Amino acid sequence: MPKLRLVIMVSGGGTNLQSILDACASRRIDAEVALVISNVAEAYALERARRAGVPGVCVPAGRRSGTAEWEAAVSQHLALLAEHDAELICMAGYMRRLGPGVLQAYQGRVLNIHPALLPSFIGAHGQRDAVEYGVRISGCSVHFADAQFDTGPLIIQAAVPVLPEDTAESLGARILVQEHRIYPQAIQWYAQGRLRVEGRRVIVDNAPPPTIMEAIISPGLDIPL
Ligand code: GRF
């Protein structure tokens, strides 16, 4: 079976990229990373790509989405995606918007991961915003990307407790462990053709029941059950 060709868009450390590379290498998912695109030249994600023997390129995209440099990046993205026969684009900590041209050309073929339980805490600081708000449970979400930030149909989510002593960093680390589980899973469902979008809802064919390692009640109970 030919493998699904992924292009991963990154801006930072690339631990999600790594989890996808590992899942491909161990054949837990029927996919291969064809290209990694970073908007940050020194992103460690590019080093991860190099170590995995995967092509990686830096396409600077300006200081903000919408700038002239960003527009130029969007044209370059389209050329690179075509050149590498991209079948699925995975944003994994990519801190700019994708161009509308890319979203149109790859409609229904772009995924994103967000470090909060959407629709809560959209934007660039999901972990910090959850801690500041005082929620007791947060998590992560993989969804189809649309023209807005963090608003497309949800494929899979995982929840973790927020502890009283948590900082954005400690909560972020707890959430990342789950990100590394749910992103490869979402990609595999896509590769298997098991995802269908109906309005806001994503139907997963033959979806397994929720994986419950332990129920999350946060803070915990100290009355007897
Ligand atoms: C992750 O928390 C992801 O959800 C968010 O940015 C972070 C990227 O981490 N969008 P990494 O670069 O994959 O380690």
With beta carbons less than 8 A apart as the criterion, state whether 123 and 150 touch: yes
- Token pair recorded at residue 121: 């805490």
pLDDT greater than 70 at residue 163: yes
DSSP state letters, 12-66:
S--HHHHHHHHHHHTTSSSEEEEEEEESSTT-HHHHHHHHTT--EEE----SSTT
CA nearest ligand 1 atom 14, residue: 15
Among 98, 113, 150, 178, the mutation site with the greatest number of ligand 1 atoms within 8 A of its Cβ is 113
Average pLDDT, the chain: 94
Q: Is 114 a catalytic residue?
A: yes
pTM of the entire predicted model: 0.94
pLDDT tens profile 97-155 = 999 999 999 999 999 999 999 999 999 999 999 999 999 999 999 999 988 878 999 99
Partners of 6 in the β-ladder? 33, 88
Which pLDDT value is given to residue 56? Answer: 98
- Does 158 have pLDDT greater than 90? yes
